[in-house]
């Protein structure tokens, strides 16, 4: 049997190099963190209970002092981030979202609720919006309703959410109910965003500048008035896009229907005179209204 590899003991960097400490946490890779029982006891009932237990004299003393040593299974990178979350005026930077997840797991293990909450806030600030689906999963896992709402709102940018995809790496970390809540939110936003195109309360006043009594375009009923066929086609096609991806960026980025409407409008001698100016004005109002109504939909809260 091969001999167990001996680990070289080293000392952590500031602020965990204070020899006036009253406890040392030794990481799995042999890094000693000089810390204070009071801080850890305030942050973690697990550590508080641990400190109340007697430490074996032969295993608990460091070579250079009488300060007890507690061996933990976390590596030095994880332990450093975890302890920085506990110390005032100290903030860790996670190298990756996976590293953040490991720290969160450790914070949960030691029942460090304040540190866990800080880790969630930092992960949202550092890795959102490129990892919003994984952050949604983490928020569901740890009960962060406000972060789950933020991530779910970002997920509205996904077209036809719910189709098979390899992009949701955090799916294994949440329940079917959590995933269903996300799908239901996306669908409800799609329904209300699609209805914007036919809402009398704002559409009629915004469209008055486009309507032209002398226009010879084929007129189609829309809400309580008639609109030109090219404009009706735009409303229908943009509504379908909003149902699939209910956010303002759909109207900002999916411009093919918008461009097609303007091209068709230029075939009319009357519409071509003002179509660009009026459609730009309408488009701005359309985007604002979609943003407004989608903001009224909330992700279903946990029981």
Do the bridges between strand 10-11 and strand 69-71 make them parallel or antiparallel, or are there none, so unpaired?
Answer: unpaired
Q: What is the pLDDT of residues 79-122, one digit of tens each?
A: 999 999 998 878 899 999 999 999 999 999 999 999 999 999 99
Which residue do the tokens 């709402």 mark? Answer: 149
Longest dimension (CA), the chain: 98
> What tokens appear for 300 in the block?
């279903």
Calculate what percentage of the chain has a pLDDT beyond 90: 61
Q: What is the pLDDT of residues 260-302, one digit of tens each?
A: 999 988 888 888 888 898 889 899 999 999 999 999 999 998 7
Domain ranges of the chain: 8-91, 191-294
Q: What is the CATH number of domain 8-91?
A: 3.30.710.10
100 within 8 A of 108, measured Cβ to Cβ: no
> What tokens appear for 130 in the block?
């490129």
213 within 8 A of 268, measured Cβ to Cβ: no
* Residue 247: band (very low, low, confident or very high) from pLDDT cuts 50, 70, 90: very high
CA 295 → CA 149, 195, 234, 302, distances in Å? 11, 14, 23, 19
């Amino acid at each position: 049997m091969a001999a167990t590899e001996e680990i070289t003991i080293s000392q952590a960097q500031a602020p965990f190099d204070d020899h006036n400490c009253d406890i040392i946490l030794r990481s799995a890779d042999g890094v000693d963190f000089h810390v204070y029982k009071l801080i850890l006891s305030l942050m973690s009932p697990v550590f508080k209970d641990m400190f109340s237990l007697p430490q074996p004299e032969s295993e608990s003393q460091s070579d250079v002092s009488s300060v007890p040593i507690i061996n933990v299974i976390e590596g030095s990178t994880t332990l450093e981030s975890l302890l920085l979350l506990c110390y005032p005026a100290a903030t860790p930077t996670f190298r990756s979202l996976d590293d953040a997840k490991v720290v969160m797991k450790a914070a949960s293990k030691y029942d460090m609720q304040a540190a866990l909450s800080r880790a969630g806030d930092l992960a949202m600030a550092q890795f959102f919006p490129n990892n919003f689906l994984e952050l949604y999963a983490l928020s569901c896992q740890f009960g962060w309703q406000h972060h789950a709402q933020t991530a779910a709102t970002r997920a509205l940018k996904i077209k036809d959410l719910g189709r098979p995809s390899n992009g949701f790496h955090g799916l294994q970390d949440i329940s079917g109910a959590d995933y269903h809540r996300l799908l239901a939110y996306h669908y409800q936003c799609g329904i209300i965003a699609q209805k914007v195109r036919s809402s009398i309360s704002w559409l009629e006043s915004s469209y008055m500048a486009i309507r032209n009594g002398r226009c010879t375009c084929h007129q189609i009923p829309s809400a309580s008035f008639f609109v030109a066929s090219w404009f009706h086609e735009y409303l229908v096609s943009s509504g379908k896009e909003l149902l699939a991806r209910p956010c303002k960026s759909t109207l900002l980025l999916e411009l093919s229907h918008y461009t097609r409407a303007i091209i068709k409008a230029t075939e009319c001698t009357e519409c071509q005179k003002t179509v660009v100016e009026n459609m730009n004005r309408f488009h701005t109002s359309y985007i604002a209204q979609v943003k407004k109504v989608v903001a009224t939909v909330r992700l279903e809260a946990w029981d």
